[in-house]
Chains A and B, each alone.
Chain A
């Protein structure tokens, strides 16, 4: 880049610098020049207005797709506090390589931006390698199944890596209660992803294993349904996540934080509606407190899903108050 790099401020804010090296050079320039950074911010705000003014209501189905997909996307952690604050990449916005190639802009290049400000496309794209935009929520109900094998962001299928990260998360959760719901949600999402990837989950009891196997396809169909909606509720350290697809006539339940039960007892799920509680799936948590995804029956007129402790084999009526009740999203 020749001359005053600062003349690039406009092009940069407009995403009109095509060459990554030039863009990077400009970002370095910004990191050394506070006024330039300030100007760049203002220009970015102005550029955003160019776009925001042209808002158009998206097709209604987009909402369902997005909501369904976030259940399978693990969120990035905040940028580590250790990052040198002012310097490295004030505005370094999504330095995103054109679709396809290369990794995200060199790792730590920029605290704000780098991996994180929108960026880190590498891993997102990774997680989307299951077929790009259309796949989740797209018609192919088996598409998610194709996915999670590849996606790096999730703990691998099966129990190995998943468990490791689960432990880590749990420790963090313990040390910092405020994070609990979030960690739990992350676990649930990771678990769902792993389960969908395999179509089978390593579980303790035989009935669950059968259920999970049989449920594999239905599970994928629910998660991929355009109308899938997700609800997460936490009570007494138990977090349940419910994915509901009325078009599929199914729901999927996963949870974290349920304590182990003595022999002869099981957790049972109930669909609760105007006509009372209808018995549904049974589940038991693994050693890590998580339950595998359970595919439940049709939402019908149910307004809630509840979890109780029952004798092994389940009951026809709930024998006690639910530990957790989750409202269904409105139809």
Chain B
């Protein structure tokens, strides 16, 4: 197992078996390992669901679904392909985003764009990030992006918008949004010190 970075995703539990190892045990039906996995990831899972859905009840449901999915598909996790936390967070984020999209599919498009403008994901992040080092670092890294990069990345990730919606919102061409999402995220990767 690879050691994690200075500010690890698992909240600093270096002295315990890492998440990747625990996921391997999970895959063998080890419930005790799942309890540990729960402790490591549940706050992040719930946090991302809450951020995207903005509704505690729905966030809790989505977190529950995502955590069950972690248990269910642990055997499909491959450490060689990425960190355990990224795997877990991908599950959680996808579920949250899919839920938001399903809810919004019902809403008429204009209304939707109107809502888009109300939601300013980055502002939230900026406001709420005072507690942990990791949040501080996130804020700093987001602050290092150009405005367009930052908006593209945060509207997509926290707002659950597709790149088409983001383009519409920011009134920039599709190709520009795609590019900004990519180079913005590359910059975040480098700033956050993400491995590989």
Contacts and interface: CB of A to CB of B under 8 A. Distances in A.
Interface of A: 3, 7-11, 13-18, 38-39, 41-59, 62-63, 65-67, 69-70, 73-79, 90-91, 93-94, 96-100, 112, 115-121, 124, 128, 132-134, 137, 178-179, 181-183, 185-186, 230-232
Interface in B90-119: 90-95, 97-99, 101-102, 105
A175 to B, nearest CB: 16
B86 A48 contact: yes
Given A15-B97, A128-B65, A51 B47 contact: yes
6 contacts: A53-B135, A66-B71, A76-B72, A76-B76, A117-B77, A121-B69
A185 B112 CA distance: 46
Contacts of B177: 11
B42 interface: yes
A227 to B, nearest CB: 14
B154 to A, nearest CB: 8
Contacts, number: 281
Interface of B: 9, 11, 27-31, 34-35, 38, 42-48, 50-51, 56, 60-65, 67-69, 71-78, 81-83, 85-95, 97-99, 101-102, 105, 125, 128-129, 132, 134-135, 137-138, 152-154, 156-158, 160-166, 175, 177-186, 188-189, 192, 194-196
A69 B47 contact: no
A297 B33 CA distance: 28
B161 A112 contact: no
Given A55-B47, A58-B63, A65-B64, A7 B42 contact: no
B169 to A, nearest CB: 12
B75 A116 contact: yes
Contact of B47 (A56, A73, A124, A230): A56
> Interface of chain B, helix or strand or loop or mixed?
helix
Contacts of B196: 38, 41-42, 45
Contact of B94 (A115, A118, A179, A185): A118
Contacts of A73: 68, 71-72
Contacts of A7: 175, 178-179, 182
Given A42-B189, A42-B196, A54 B11 contact: no
Contact of A99 (B11, B29, B102): B102
Contact of A44 (B74, B86, B92, B153): B86
A59 B50 CA distance: 12
A70 B63 CA distance: 14
B184 A51 contact: no
